[in-house]
Amino acid sequence: MFLDDTVVYARIFEGEQIFAEKSQQEFKDVSFDFFANDNRFFTRQSSIFYEGSRIGTIQIALSYETIQEELRLNVIIILTLTVLVIVSISLTSFVISKRYIARPLLQLQLSAERIARGELEAPIDVTRLDEIGNLANNLNDMRDSIRQLFEALRNSNAKLEESNRTLEQNVDARTLELAEAMEEAQMARAIAEDANRAKSVFLANMSHELRTPLNAIIGYSEMMLEEVEQFDKEQAVADLSRIQNAGRHLLGLISDVLDLSKIEAGRMELVLETFELSQVIQEVASTIRPMTEKNNNTLILNDQENLGHMKADQTKVRQILFNLLNNACKFSKEGTVSLTVTPKSILNIEWIIFEVKDTGIGITDEQMGRLFQPFVQADASMTRKYGGTGLGLTISRQFCQMMEGDITVESQVGIGSVFTVKIPAQVLGRHPAVKLIEKS
């Protein structure tokens, strides 16, 4: 027992008598009670039995320091063995994983990189049946699919290049055709413009040549009319009146053609002057009144007083109003024709609004689309029935636009029409196609 340094004291009793007692040399004369009362030692007392009978008692004392030293030694041994086991397991795992996992995965990585670079010819060797083998099989399948896709893509690119070449050839041919057609169209347009200018010049010259003798006919008919009225020859008066009216009508038609030819030729003049607006309205009303009475219409002038002054081309304003009122009287019978004039400020610009309203035959939506085209009336039957060249509205709109204004129309068939003219109260003459003349 005392071969173990842990045991420092032992004593055996036989009954109440000490049978044997022994202690370490340094505790030679120390009793058991000393050890029991010292916390440096672990003491234990136990009975001794033999064949079921108690024959004695044993007392033993152990050194805590020696026990702790042995425990520390055992812990060191256990830890050392544990570290050795862990290192051995790690090395074994590393070797196994490198051989059976890392190396195959590296091969798969290199194969995937070759696939990414487009090297699709070399297959991946598959020698395993586990998950890594399945991954290698999947990579092989992906390589085959990509190779087939690239092959199809190359074929598609070849077809696309062929289509592009064909398309380029077609485009070049079509472009050449279009260029030739455009050149021909430009030549035809130039010829048409030259012909149109020649037509306008011819019409202007011809209209001027026709007006000169026509004015002489009208003048001589007026002189003869005055003479025969003095001699009370009613039949001659009627005949001369017809000659005079026909001449004036023809003069009006020729004047319309002359105005249109000047507009198309870009030779129309815009004479700006300041005038009394009410006076112009009264003059137009006086001129149009016989036409109003001819069809038993009633002419109404609204707001014609205190209108102030207007700076514009007085002749063109008068002609616009005359054309609109003349049409209203011509296409109305036993109805009402009204002219309303209203000054109005719109966006800090002063405007003069002329509104000509009638209770005539009205205009359809289809007729409205070609209403302001030259030489066009609502339809051919109107030209035969009511006469005229169909130039009045065209010229009126052109005059309005020259003075930075416009004409709009609203109409209902069988009820009547409303033509609205809007012209600035102070025309600035900025239209590029007219020659501006200022009158002080």
pLDDT along the chain (440 residues), means of 10: 64 75 70 72 78 80 75 86 88 73 68 70 65 71 77 85 86 88 86 70 62 68 71 64 63 66 72 91 88 91 80 91 92 93 91 94 84 59 51 87 92 93 89 70
pTM of the model: 0.49
Q: How many domains does the chain have?
A: 3
Dihedrals φ, ψ of 425, to 5°? -65, -25
CA 420 to CA 415: how far, in whole Å? 17
306 and 434 co-located in one domain = yes
Same-domain check for residues 144 and 251: yes
Statement to judge: residues 174 and 64 lie in one domain: no
Whether residue 188 sits in one domain with residue 221: yes
Query: Radius of gyration over alpha carbons of the chain, in Å?
Result: 63
Of 93, 114, 135, the position where a domain reaches its end is 114
Pairing label, strands 269-276, 435-438 = parallel
CB burial readout 332-366, b (16+ within 10 A) else e? beebbbbbbbeeeeeeeeebbbbbbbbbbbbbeee
- Residue 275: strand pairing partners: 310
Task: Report the CATH number at residue 416.
Answer: 3.30.565.10
Domain shared by 143 and 184, yes or no: yes
**What does the alpha-carbon distance between residue 154 and residue 41 come to, in Å, rounded to a whole number?**
92
Domain boundary among 90, 114, 138: 114
**Which pLDDT score is estimated for 120?**
65
Domain extent for 6: 1-114
Name the domain boundary from 73, 95, 114.
114
Question: Does one domain contain both 207 and 89?
Answer: no
* Cβ contact 389:322 at 8 Å: no
- Both 37 and 100 in one domain: the answer is yes
Tell me if 136 sits within 8 A of 124, measured CB to CB. Answer: yes
Output the pLDDT for position 354: 95
Do residues 303 and 394 share a domain? Answer: yes
Q: Which two tokens stand for residue 12?
A: 């055996």
Indicate whether 398 and 419 sit together in one domain.
Answer: yes
**For tokens 């699709």, what's the residue?**
120
Is 241 found in the same domain as 230? yes
Which two structure tokens, joined as six digits, stand for 401?
């636009």
pLDDT at 202: 61
CA–CA separation, 405 and 396 (whole Å): 11
Are residue 142 and residue 251 in the same domain, yes or no? yes
Same domain? For 177 and 47 the reply is no
Q: Which two tokens stand for residue 290?
A: 């016989």
